[in-house]
Structure formats: C-alpha cells, structure tokens
Amino acid sequence: MSKKILLSGVKPTGAPHIGNYFGAMKQFVDLQNTNNYECHFMIADYHGLNFIQNADEMRTNTLNLALDYLAIGLDPLTSVIFKQSDVSAHTELTWIFDSITTMPYLMRAHAFKDAEAKDKEISIGTFNYPMLMAADILLYDADVVPVGQDQKQHIEYARDTAQKFNSLFTETFKLPEPLIMKEVAIVPGTDGRKMSKSYGNTIPLFATREEIVKGVMSIVTDSSGDVPTNVYNMHKLLKSEEDLKKLYDENKGKYKILKEALIDDLDAFIKPLREKRALIAQNIQGVEAVLIQGALKAKEKADAKLLTVKKNIGVL
Ligand code: ADP
Ligand code: TRP
C-alpha cells in the first residue's frame, strides 16, 4: 500500500510554545511515527518574513526552529525537513496561483480581515499569504495537513485553488485535508485566550523551570469557583481528566497548590525535551546539514511537480 503524503510547517517567528506543540507539532511526530505517511516538515521562512524583518533574527529563529523540530523527534532519516525559501518552486507556483485568484476572494481571509479591522497597513505578502501556503501544500500532492484550528481556512484556500486550477486547465492537483485534533484545536494561554506568540501569554515548549514558574504563576484565575479554569485547562494537556479529578477535588479553591502541581507536571514533561534540545544544539553543523539534505529532497519533488504545472498552463 502506498503511503499517504503529509506536509506541514511552522513560521520561524520565535520560540514555539506548548500551544504550537499540542495543537500541531505533536501530531507531526505522532503521525511520522506511525510509518503510514511520507512526511514533509517545513520551516515557513517566507511566511515568517511578514513578521520578522531583521536578517539576524530570521537566521537565528530559523536555525532554532530546525533544532526544535529535531528535539521533538522529527527524524531527518524518514521525513523531509526543509526550509521553504530553499525551494524556489514555492514562490513560482504562488505567482501562477495569483493569476487565477481574485482580490475579493483573498479579502475573505480571517487574517486579512483581522488586520483590516485593526486598521493595520497590510503588506501584499500578508494579503497573499494563503496563496503561498496553497503552493506549499499542493506542490507535494499532500493528502493531509496537520495544523491547529486557526489554520483551517488556509487549507480551504488550498483546496479551492487546486479545484480552480484543475477546472481551468487539467487535473493537476490533489485536494488536501486538514488534520485537526479536536481536544487541542485551541490550546489556551495564561490569560485564557488562545495561546499565541503575539499575545505574550505562552509557556515556551522548551521553557526552563524558572520560565515555567513565571508562566504558571501569571495564569489568570477567577475567584468565582473551586476550579481555576485556566489552570485546569492547561493541566488537561498533560494528565487525564481521571487523574486530575482527585487532585482538583482534594484541593478545591487552593489555587496555589494547584498551580504548583501544574508547574511540576509541566517541568516533568518539558525537561526531557529541553535536555534533548541542548544535546542537539552541541552540533549546529549537523542541524544545518539536515536542512541542506532536506532542501535537496524537497526540491526534487517540487521541481518535478512544477514542471507538470508549467506544461499544463502552456508555458512549456
Ligand atoms: P502563533 O499563533 O503562536 O504565532 P503559529 O501561527 O506559528 O502560532 O502556529 C504554528 C502552528 O501551531 C499552527 O499549526 C497553529 O494552528 C498551531 N497553533 C498555534 N497556537 C495554537 C494554540 N493556541 N492551540 C492550538 N494550536 C495552535
Ligand atoms: N501558516 C502556518 C502557520 O501560521 C504555517 C504554514 C506555512 C503551513 N505553510 C504551511 C502550515 C503549509 C501547513 C502547511 O502556522
């Protein structure tokens, strides 16, 4: 039986947090380890360029994200791990998609509407974000794309674009499916809103114990009930509701004890990841080599697909 094709990516916009992990990155590892998928994990640096406009920061974040990928268990021997900007077919296919896409259609994107509602000046890259993401996915004939809930609309854009291309020209692209884990579709942050780098409400995935303590102590608790909802919801990521029931029943209203228990559980979960990351960080050249190898493999696949696309639109 041939394996299904999986592709996903993360922007190198700063240290990943446990929301990124439980919402998306953990699925990368779990699905990779089933052996049922041909996996591609990308560092979406060109998407990140909309947010990071400083060369040193971009370089550091990118290498850090490669390290993070390896530390959570992505395996360069079985998965293609690569940087988006290393494969020029992504931006080339974006142009082709731009030419068959209308402005009103892109104006319906949540990210665009949010930026507009905040009266932000919107870059063309932000406006066009869904087309680059469609190119990322469709170039590899991905069947599944594991992501958090906030990316669902982007996968719909990729599907629509594939359909539009197929009907305008000839059957060329597969329609990808999003893979979203219901229970962790939106991991809450320390303030109860969606955990996000841009809200400053995160627990970093490779946090030190001090950072964990700082994060957990800042969790907003309302005094209306026995169970501090925001603490409990984060705790649920680490332990079964059964296990938590006893702890929360025995400590009704004792927010400090519950927060301390959460700190210990988070630290127990993060410590091995932190240690593995520190070990891999001792060989940065090895990490760079992973990206070089990954780029070669990704390029081969993407270039072959782009050739077909170019034939199908008549430029070849
Ligand atoms: P951020 O919002 O922190 O900038 P990214 O946009 O870089 O996160 O997201 C990377 C991946 O992590 C995406 O698949 C996204 O859906 C997922 N993700 C981000 N935040 C959360 C969250 N709080 N809960 C679940 N998944 C999340
Ligand atoms: N837009 C995604 C995010 O913000 C990152 C991303 C870029 C991506 N290209 C992708 C995710 C392709 C899945 C597939 O998290």
Mean pLDDT of all residues in 284-305: 98
| Whether residues 73 and 136 fall in one domain | yes
Asked if residue 189 is part of any domain, the answer here is no
What is d(CA 107, CA 24) in angstroms, rounded to the nearest whole number?
Answer: 26
Residues linked to residue 145 through DSSP beta bridges, in sequence order: 178
Which secondary-structure segment (H or E) carries 257?
helix 255-280
pTM higher than 0.75, yes or no? yes
| Whether residues 30 and 98 fall in one domain | yes
Question: What is the number of structural domains in the chain?
Answer: 2
Which ligand neighbours the alpha carbon of 187 most closely?
A: 1
Asked if residue 42 lies in contact with residue 147, where contact means CB atoms within 8 angstroms, the answer is: no
Mean pLDDT of all residues in 248-272: 95
State whether residue 40 is helix, strand or coil: strand
CATH number of the domain that residue 109 is part of: 3.40.50.620
| Residue 17 Cα distances to 23, 27, 250, 258, 279, angstroms | 10, 14, 30, 21, 20
Residue nearest to atom 8 of ligand 2 (CA): 9
Q: Which residues are near ligand 1 (CB < 6 Å)? A: 10-11, 13, 19-20, 23-24, 147-148, 150-151, 184, 186-187, 194-198
Copy the structure tokens of residue 103.
Answer: 């402005």
Copy the structure tokens of residue 244.
Answer: 């938590």
Residue nearest to atom 19 of ligand 1 (CA): 20
Q: Which comes out higher in pLDDT, residue 186 or 206?
A: 206
Q: Which mutation among 68, 150, 201 tests ligand 1's pocket best, with the greatest number of atoms within 8 A of CB? A: 150
| Whether residues 222 and 300 fall in one domain | no
State whether residue 141 is helix, strand or coil: coil
Q: Considering the chain, what is the average pLDDT of its residues? A: 96
Mean pLDDT of all residues in 16-29: 96
Quick check: 247 pLDDT over 90? yes
| Whether residues 251 and 112 fall in one domain | no
The pLDDT tens digits of the residues spanning 89-125 come to: 999 999 999 999 999 999 999 999 998 999 888 999 9
What is d(CA 82, CA 12) in angstroms, rounded to the nearest whole number?
Answer: 12
Quick check: 32 pLDDT over 90? yes
Please report, rounded to a whole number, the percentage of residues in the chain having pLDDT higher than 70.
99
Quick check: 205 pLDDT over 80? yes
Lowest-confidence segment of 97-106, 136-145, 223-232, 247-256 by average pLDDT? 223-232
Residue nearest to atom 14 of ligand 1 (CA): 147
The pLDDT tens digits of the residues spanning 275-287 come to: 999 999 999 999 9
| Whether residues 176 and 141 fall in one domain | yes
**Site of tokens 């593995």:** 276
Quick check: 225 pLDDT over 90? no
Region of 119 (left: φ > 0; alpha: ψ -120 to 50; beta: rest) is left
What pLDDT is recorded for position 223? 66
Lowest-confidence segment of 66-80, 216-230, 250-264 by average pLDDT? 216-230
Asked if residue 165 is part of any domain, the answer here is yes
| Whether residues 9 and 153 fall in one domain | yes
Asked if residue 162 lies in contact with residue 173, where contact means CB atoms within 8 angstroms, the answer is: yes
| Whether residues 155 and 290 fall in one domain | yes
What pLDDT is recorded for position 20? 95
The distance between the two most distant Cα atoms of the chain, rounded to a whole number of Å, is 71
Q: Which comes out higher in pLDDT, residue 303 or 222?
A: 303
Residue nearest to atom 25 of ligand 1 (CA): 23
Q: Residue 164: which domain range? A: 4-184+284-313
Asked if residue 191 is part of any domain, the answer here is no
Residues 6 or more apart whose Cβ sits within 8 Å of residue 58:
12, 45, 48, 49, 52
